[in-house]
């Protein structure tokens, strides 16, 4: 299974109304994880940025 950080990220994305269809490991040179969020492939960094954009200003 995935580590606690990625599980928390997925849980938070889902709590914010995003549809997370999958999480997978990617090659070392591409980053640690890839996610499918709202039907689009995103990197771990892009998923974090998505959560930041969801935060109220």
pTM: 0.67
**Number of folded domains that form the chain:** 1
Residue ranges in the chain whose pLDDT is less than 50: 1
- State residue 31's pLDDT score: 61
pLDDT at 26: 76
Name the β-bridge partners of 41: 36
Amino acid 15: pLDDT:
95
In the chain, alpha helices (H)? 4-15, 44-54
Residue 8 belongs to domain spanning = 4-54
């Amino acid at each position: 299974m995935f580590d606690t950080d990625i599980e928390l990220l997925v849980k938070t994305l889902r709590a914010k109304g995003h549809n997370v269809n999958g999480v997978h490991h990617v090659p070392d040179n591409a980053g640690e994880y890839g996610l499918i969020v709202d039907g689009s492939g995103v990197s771990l960094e892009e998923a974090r940025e998505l959560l930041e954009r969801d935060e109220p200003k």
